[in-house]
Each structure stands twice: as C-alpha cells, then as structure tokens.
Structure 1
Amino acid sequence: MLKTRAIAMFRGLLAGLALVAVTASAAGTPPTLRVMSFNVRLMPADDGVNRWEARRDLLVQTIRRADADVFGTQELFKEQGDYIVAGLPQYAWFGRGRRGDDGDEHMGVFYRKDRLRVVESGDFWLSDTPEVAGSITWGNLFPRMVTWALFERKSDGRRFYFFNTHFPYREQDGEARTRAAALIAQRLAKLPQGVPVVVTGDFNDVPDSGAYRALAATLQDAWTTAPRRSGPEATFHDFTGKADRRIDWVWSKGLQVRRVQTITDQRDGRYPSDHFPVLAEYRWPAL
C-alpha cells in the first residue's frame, strides 16, 4: 500500500514539474499577432456566378480558417460587413463609408472581440483636407480614405496601431497614390514612439512604385521580410485564380514578421473574392 502511494506521489511530482516547464516555456515565448488584408470585392449586379450571394459563405469560411486577430478590408459595403460578423460572431467591425456615411464602400476593420479591445479609432481622407469626410482631390474619381484604431490585447495589455486603406486604381493615378502614401507616412510619424504599427490595404500599385517607396522608408513589407512565405506573390486575379500583380500589402513597424501567406482558398473553381487575401503572423518584441 505504501509502495503504491509512493509511486502515485512520484508520478504527481513529475506531472507538476512538466507543467511548470511548459508554463515557463510559454511565458518565455513572445506572443504572436495574426494580421490579414482582404479586398472582399463589392456587390455589383453584373458579377454573375461571382456575385456576392454566391461567394459570401466561402468568404466567411476563408476568414474563419485564417483566424486573424485583426484584418482590414477594402470595397466592403455595410451589408457585407454585417453578414461576416453574423457568421463569425467572435469578430466585431467598424468604419465609415468613404463618403462619410454607410452608403458606399468602407475600409472596414474586423477584430477578435475576445482577444482585442479598441482604445480609440477614427478615419481620415487621402486628400488635401484629410479631416473632411468624403473629400476628393489629386484627380481622384472617388474619395479615398484610411480607417485606423489603437488596439490593446486583453491578455497582456500590449498595444498597437492599425491602419487600413484602399488607393485609387487607374494607371494615371500614380501621383495620387504616391501622395496618399506620403500622407499616411506623415500620420505614422506623429504616433507615440515605441508602439508597434501595422498597415494593410489594396494599394493598386506594384513594388518599386512611388507609393511603395514612400511607405518602405519607415515600414517593413511582410512579403519581402518574412523568413517563411507561402502562396503566390501576386494577389489580384480577377476571379481566375491566376494573379498577375502584387497590389495587396501588409506593412509593420516594431514587430517581427514570422511568416506570410497568400490565401488561395476556392471551391469548385470559384473564389471568395477577385483578390487573394494576405495573412501575416508577427511576433511581439520581448518586454
């Protein structure tokens, strides 16, 4: 009987030591932050087999599998944002439409309610009058904007800024895209030092463009700096699955990118959007 008790006590001691070792190891590992950029494609009536109603469940499934802590969307209408959180109630979303109300495209920001809380948030427009909702300058056809937030992790109080945007798309909009990137860089320069920053968006431009260089002066491109990459480099595929341009970028400052992935989920040759979403995983700096 005594021998049996001694064996049980010894096994209990080993289990306790193992638990301490695992806890210590976890405590010594910097936590991660999963970030995604996703142009979800608006809802034109002439999309045919690729209309929103035909692809929305696949889009929700794609987001669920990605399991991002936070992600920025482009071309999002309120109906789409509400459908996403109805299917994924672990997320909440916010953002104004680009004309200042809910009747147009949003730069909707989605975040896991159980992991993050919003400390503050806002919008500004990519124009000569950034605080004027719906303002258009620089030859743009439509208002262009940024939706941003300061997030705090519920588990440990770590904070980071998140900016999400969508640049103009025409070939002749190169100067406008460069000016938009410069305005974002100016805003980032005014943020408190030491707080990490993440920027997501559909930038409608290619690396080595003026817009790219304006952002690369202070931020790191996840695709070029990650030690591990998967999926195609290009992101816009027009529902074909064969992308030809890398126009969706994820940037950061103050975080270490571990891996980045271009997500190519599809079902029977149909895709959730005409863009591949980009998912980046970051490691926080040690405290």
Structure 2
Amino acid sequence: MQQGQIEGHAEERPEIAGDGRDRGASRRLRLLTYNVRHCRGTDGRVAPERVARVIAALSPDIIALQEVDVGRKRTGGLDQAEEIARLTGMFSHFHPALHVEEERYGDALLTHLPSRLRRAGPLPGLTRRPGLEPRGALWVEVSLGAAAIQVLTTHFGLLGAERIAQAEALLGPDWLGDPACRAPTVLLGDFNATGWSRSYRRLSARLTDARRLTGERRWRRGGASFPSRFPLLRIDHVFVSERVAVERVTVVDTPLAREASDHLPVLAEIRIDPG
C-alpha cells in the first residue's frame, strides 16, 4: 500500500480472471459511478478524504466521478481527481467541462488497471440558452490482459432538450459511434434523467441499462441515488454493450455515503465475456 492510501474493504473484491495468456476466460470488474458535488457533503464540509473512504470500502476497479474540482478557490485549489486517486491507489483521467483561468470543473475516470485516454471533449448545449453550464464527456480504454473495455462517463444538463442533444452527440461518430466501441463498452454517469425520459430512452436503444440485466423483475423500480439523504430519483445510470454481463447493480446507501455527497454512488459488478 502506498503512503497516504486509504485501506477499507467492506466486502471481498472478485479477482479479474486471466492475465493476457488466458484468452478464453471472462474478466470480472467492479465499476462505480459517483457524483461527488466537489466533495462537499450534506453537512456543508468539503472533504475529499471522506469521498475516498466511501470509494475504498467498495474496492472498485474503475470509478467515474462527476462534479470534480481542480484548482478552484471554493475548494482550496486542490486537484480533487488526483487527491482521490492518490488516496485510493489509482490513476486518474480528468476532463474539465468548465475551464475559467486556472479553475477547472468536470468529470474524472480513475482505475488501478492499465488505461489510456481515447477522447475528452465538450457536449452540446442549447444555442438559445448560452448561459447553461457546459457539459462534457470522457472516454478511456482500460486493458484487461489480452482484452479491453471502453469506459465513457458524462454529466448531462438539467433541461430535457439539452439532454437530448447531449445523448445524440454521445451516440455520434466521435463517441459511441466510433468503431472502437464495438468492443465491450460501458457508459456511466449522472444523466439527470429518469428511466422515462427521452434522453434515457435514446441511450437505452443503443446500450442496455445494467439494472435490466440483473434478473430483477421490477428493475425499473428502486435504485434511487438522489438526493442522498432521502433518495427519490434514479438519475445515475450504468449502460452496457453486448459481451458485458451484469452480475449486480446496487446503490451504496451507507451512513458515510449519505454524508459525503448529495448523490449516492452506484456500484455495478460486471463480467466481460471473451469475444
């Protein structure tokens, strides 16, 4: 364990099968999507170390974070992506959807596995509403021995028309329409959209909501992750492509998670089937 790394394993993490020589084995992964609200908890305190403790207790292999501050005065100028990565023993990729002088704010992908950045960039807003918060997406390829998985994260806007434009962009040739996304692919993040919204339906026509593959008959019900103190809305989603089997999806509703952010993290346990 590296100095400063947080130790915390609430449950045993399944090992990733195969080391690159076993091409027929499936790979098991734990993925987490978490809107951390610049690490400002429901008690008003900014505490990246508290967010890191929530994450460390779950032992994820890949983490998607939204609302991450880097170099912002309101959070002490800290690089929150790097700090959380350091505390959890991971490497980080960050994309600033908002960049004002030295202050940045956006999405991050963290993993302890070999990875490389495929794309990071903005998503469209509404031309008639120029004051809307800018949004972006981040795409990283994670290596699993001889296999790989494409992992994308985003944070959609608050307006319905804005979210539809952003979903269409993600489905286009620069993102999910890229030939590389024919490989096992996961899209996860805060979509600000329930399962009945148009933007959700547009994405689920291309990828499958991971909750749908868990075997639960009432997969549309439950799974609320916002607001953390009294979860009512399921707006944090995990979508998967073919060749991605889903073993479990759960909202992490612990006392610490309820305090660390206004969203609860969503954990998905998946298996990558060999091609």
TM bucket, shorter chain: 0.7 to 0.9
Q: Give the structure-2-normalised TM-score.
A: 0.78
- Correspondence 1:117 to 2:93: no
Question: What is the rounded CA distance, in whole Å, between the counterparts of 1:98 and 1:226 in structure 2?
Answer: 32
Corresponding letter in the other structure for 2:46: W
Per the alignment, do residues 178 and 33 of structure 1 end up closer, same or farther by CA in structure 2, a change over 3 Å counting? Answer: same
In structure 2, the partner of 1:279 is 267
In structure 2, the partner of 1:144 is 135
Count the aligned residue pairs. Answer: 238
Q: Deviations over 1:173-203 (max 9, x none)?
A: 1011011111111231223364111111111
In structure 2, the partner of 1:68 is 60
Question: What is the rounded CA distance, in whole Å, between the counterparts of 2:180 and 2:118 in structure 1?
Answer: 15
In structure 2, the partner of 1:5 is none
Shift of 1:232: 4.8
- Correspondence 1:51 to 2:45: yes
What does residue range 1-287 of structure 1 map to in structure 2 within 5 Å? 30-42=26-38, 49-53=43-47, 56-78=48-70, 79=78, 80-88=80-88, 90-100=89-99, 103-112=103-112, 116-127=113-124, 137=127, 139=129, 141-153=132-144, 156-169=145-158, 173-186=159-172, 187-192=175-180, 194-227=182-215, 232-237=222-227, 239-240=228-229, 242-254=230-242, 255-267=244-256, 271-287=259-275
Question: What is the rounded CA distance, in whole Å, between the counterparts of 1:137 and 1:51 in structure 2?
Answer: 36
Per the alignment, do residues 138 and 31 of structure 1 end up closer, same or farther by CA in structure 2, a change over 3 Å counting? Answer: farther
2:187 counterpart SS class: strand
Provide structure 1 residue ranges, at least 5 long, that are not aligned to the other structure: 1-22, 129-135
Question: What is the rounded CA distance, in whole Å, between the counterparts of 1:118 and 1:72 in structure 2?
Answer: 14
Question: Cα RMSD over matched residues?
Answer: 2.6
Identity %: 25
Question: What is the rounded CA distance, in whole Å, between the counterparts of 2:142 and 2:90 in structure 1?
Answer: 14
Greater percentage in helix = 1
Q: Give the structure-1-normalised TM-score.
A: 0.75
Shift of 1:124: 1.8
Runs of 4 or more consecutive aligned structure 1 residues displaced over 4 Å after TM superposition: none
Greater percentage in strand = 2
When Rg is computed on C-alpha atoms for both structures, the one with the higher figure is 1
8 Å contact from structure 1 (residues 265, 272) kept in 2: no
Shift of 1:120: 3.4
Shift of 1:281: 1.0
Shift of 1:30: 1.9
